[in-house]
Amino acid sequence: MIDFALPANLVAPQLLGCLLSHRGVTIRLTEVEAYLGAEDEAAHTYRGQTPRNAAMFGEPGRMYVYHSYGIHKAGNIVCAPRGTGQGCLLRAGEVVDGIELARARRGDVDFFNLARGPGNLGKALGLEISDNGQPVTGPEFMLHERKTEPEWVAGPRIGISKNVDARLRFWIPRDKSVSARRGYPAT
């Protein structure tokens, strides 16, 4: 059982291979990034709590949903003890159920691009700002833990300008749904 009260960098690899269901679509998580709050300049919570990021300081095991670039909705799972501001960004996954619904939300894209990238994953799942603060254990979301631990690797995060060398991006190697920059060795 995943202990979401642990630091995000310890929770992140445990999320790989898990299934997340929401609004008729289930995604097998293949890529996540850990954000470590006040000790991580790239985290939304680095400078402290605001109305926008308040969910990240709440109970672990809940969603933090936000507008990315003012267009997309991206989701994180809150980690670490309450008040810490840590979370795991859901970067990519493979749609395993509700494929037609995901296609309707995403348009005519290649199967492995349906949930590749945080905004695309959010769109495939039908994330809304109203999902902010909802637990991943139901009723709106359901996280099903993996049956076996997949092989995983870690490397630098993507699409950030601060703390860029931190090896806080975790993914399943050779999985076709994972974002670019796959070639980093395991840590």
Q: Please give the structure tokens belonging to residue 32.
A: 């996540």
Tell me the per-residue pLDDT of 5-62, one tens digit each, with 9 for 90 and over.
999 999 999 999 999 999 999 999 999 999 999 999 999 999 999 999 999 999 999 9
SS3 letters across 103-143: HHHHCCCCHHHCCECHHHHHHHHCCCHHHCCCECCCCCEEE
Return the domain boundaries, the chain: 8-171
Position 155 pLDDT exceeds 60: yes
* 128 pLDDT tier (thresholds 50, 70, 90): very high
**pLDDT at residue number 71:** 82
**pLDDT at residue number 164:** 86
**Mean pLDDT across 128-151:** 96
Tell me the per-residue pLDDT of 54-77, one tens digit each, with 9 for 90 and over.
999 999 999 999 998 778 999 999
Query: Model-level pTM greater than 0.85?
Result: yes
The residue with greater pLDDT, 164 or 58, is 58
Query: What is the dihedral angle through the alpha carbons of 128, 125, 11, 187, rounded to the nearest 10 degrees?
Result: -120
> What is the fold of 8-171?
3-methyladenine DNA Glycosylase; Chain A (3.10.300)
SS3 letters across 2-59: CCCCCCHHHHHHHHCCCEEEECCEEEEEEEEEEEEHHHCCCCCCCCCCCCCCHHHHCC
Task: With both helix axes pointing from N to C terminus, report the angle between 99-106 and 118-125 in degrees, rounded to the nearest 10.
Answer: 120
Position 91 pLDDT exceeds 90: yes
Q: Which long-range contacts (CB under 8 A, 24 or more apart) does 14-17 make?
A: 15/77, 15/88, 15/90, 15/170, 16/146, 16/150, 16/152, 16/170, 16/171, 16/172, 17/146, 17/148, 17/149, 17/150, 17/172
